[in-house]
Amino acid sequence: MWQSEGLAMTLGLGLVLCAPANTSAAEEDVVSYSVMGTVTVEVEVPTRTAPPPQDPVRVIVADGQIHTLERVFFVSGGAEVRSLSLPTLDAVAVVMITAPHIRVLRIEAHTDTVAGDNLGLSQRRAEWVRAYLVKKGVAAERLVAAGFGDTRPIAPNDTVEGRQQNRRVEFIIGS
């Protein structure tokens, strides 16, 4: 509200804008005002950052399977998955958690013909993957571990490349 003699305007928060006493109402829009009192203004300016990088696509659900785009690697001769393959298993877990319509997922582990106890090794590998997915939040009753050893090759075992293709984990969607 303006006052006569030294026009003043109360702004609230205890601040008053004052104009010189010789200012007329017609000139008020061209007069500089001073603030009486202390004003502290804190402004937080958001910094522009690039959006976080998206995780690469690691799995695709198609043809009754969860297809991994990267191989699942195990410790040589053992059942434990190597750390470089954990993000792929994490992606499988996300699919299972976010797709409750997938009632059963059969984890099939396969080996080449090189090791001695291929059937046992592949079963232990399938069970390791199952246990990992359960730890990530997938309901245990939705997961079945099956080891097939070297009984279902997809390539000849007489070449390095063929043996590498046969060492695999497949995720088969059941009903």
Q: Give the 3-state secondary structure of 46-70.
A: CCCCCCCCCCCCCEEEECCEEEECC
The CATH class of the 59-174 domain is alpha beta
- Cβ atoms of 105 and 172 within 8 Å: the answer is yes
Of the two residues 51 and 14, the one the predictor is more confident about is: 51
Q: Which part of the chain is CATH 3.30.1330.60?
A: 59-174
Predicted pLDDT of residue 168:
97
Residue 138: pLDDT band with limits 50, 70, 90:
very high
CB atoms within 10 A of CB 18: 15
Q: Round to whole Å and give the CA distance between 56 and 149.
A: 30
Predicted pLDDT of residue 77:
87
Predicted pLDDT of residue 7:
47
- Cβ atoms of 161 and 64 within 8 Å: the answer is no
Predicted pLDDT of residue 116:
82
